[in-house]
Amino acid sequence: MKTSEFDYDLPVEMIAQTPIEPRDTSRLLVLSRESGHISHHRFREISDFLHPGDLLVANDSRVIPARLMGRKESGGQAEVFLLRRRQERIWETLVRGRRLRPGTRIEIDNPKAQGERSRSLSATIIAETPAGGRVVEFEVPVEPLLDELGIVPLPPYVHEPLADGERYQTVYARVQGSVAAPTAGLHFTTLLIDQLLEQGVRFAFVTLHIGLHTFRPVKSEQIEDHPMHSEWAELPAETAEAVNQTRNSGGRVIAVGTTAVRSLETAARLQASPLVPFQGWTDLFITPGYRFRVVEAMVTNFHLPRSTLLMLVSAFAGKAAIDTAYREAIGEGYRFYSFGDSMLIL
């Protein structure tokens, strides 16, 4: 298929700039894969479509404060955006600034320091990456210092500052590692989760650390020519067991977000029944024609044009159904992307 088939026009004012409060008052479009029927609700009404014995599988990855601001030793501002840790002190990064070549030393600022700028950490660029990034070596392990020195990154299409950084985390986020939030889960509140548990709906978790590539559009003319990025994923034994129990008892396995879909389906490529634990890198690229082995329903946000995420939901629900749902969502004034509204595909 051509990448251009996954393009659509979205008025810029429909890109949500701030999260809605409370989380579960966001809108929910419910799409039936079997009939194509669409209905409109609030997210807190998701309980009306879930049954005792269903299993929601969510991504518990937590967004790290990946943006580090500083200056070159020779002067001039520099920004280091952490992407992936290679070794204890060595990271793949994106950098912003002039003449940031191998050998350049950067002094990282403490954005929370009062008064004069403090230099709390130094880093040296040691190599360039084929994609145009930089490999950076820190003088000490940087992860323990991120809460003090780092800034939580927001998607490039969000231009409003976020008053509360926790609003770009799910309420169940616990494993540090992502540079973007698994946004389908942002709609859940602890109260809603408790209500679903009381209803007999179970929760289980996978971990997939989301990279910056999630925001990048597919540039190849044919989607099969796109080099899919790799992300670290883990499906623990207790989640595999919960999935197997749910399938054996007739319940539905419902993925919360595309990252949960990719984690489950990656594990299923090793062994679909019974599902077995998995830990490692995944570059699974789900496009129309893919046969889903585990996921039977999905909670998801509205995705960017020409993105791998839009291709995934089109594979799950059918491209024609997704095209119709997106047109209706635009016509109904839904909010799009990370802080936007949600869709439940049954």
Q: What is the pLDDT of residue 340?
A: 97
Quote the CA–CA distance of 326 and 336 in Å, as a whole number.
Answer: 10
Q: What is the pLDDT of residue 84?
A: 86
Quote the CA–CA distance of 315 and 189 in Å, as a whole number.
Answer: 29
Q: How far is CA 153 from the centre of its chain?
A: 12
Q: What is the pLDDT of residue 115?
A: 53
At residue 49, φ and ψ (nearest 5 deg) are -110, 0
E-strand spans in the chain?
27-31, 38-42, 55-59, 61-63, 67-72, 77-85, 90-96, 105-109, 119-128, 134-138, 175-178, 202-208, 231-235, 253-256, 278-282, 297-301, 342-345
Quote the CA–CA distance of 150 and 142 in Å, as a whole number.
Answer: 10
Domains recognised in the chain with CATH numbers: 3-63+162-345 (3.40.1780.10), 67-149 (2.40.10.240)
- Cβ–Cβ contacts within 10 Å for residue 48, how many? 9
| pTM for this prediction | 0.91
Q: What is the pLDDT of residue 113?
A: 64
Q: DSSP labels for 159-202?
A: -SPPS-GGGGS-TT--EEEESS--GGGGG--HHHHHHHHHHT-E
CB burial string 59-86: b at 16+ within 10 A, e below:
bbbbbbbbbbbbbbeeeeebbbbbbbbe
Q: What is the pLDDT of residue 61?
A: 97
Whether residue 263 contacts residue 282, with contact meaning beta carbons closer than 8 Å, is answered with yes
Q: Which residues of the chain have pLDDT under 50?
A: none
Q: What is the pLDDT of residue 76?
A: 87
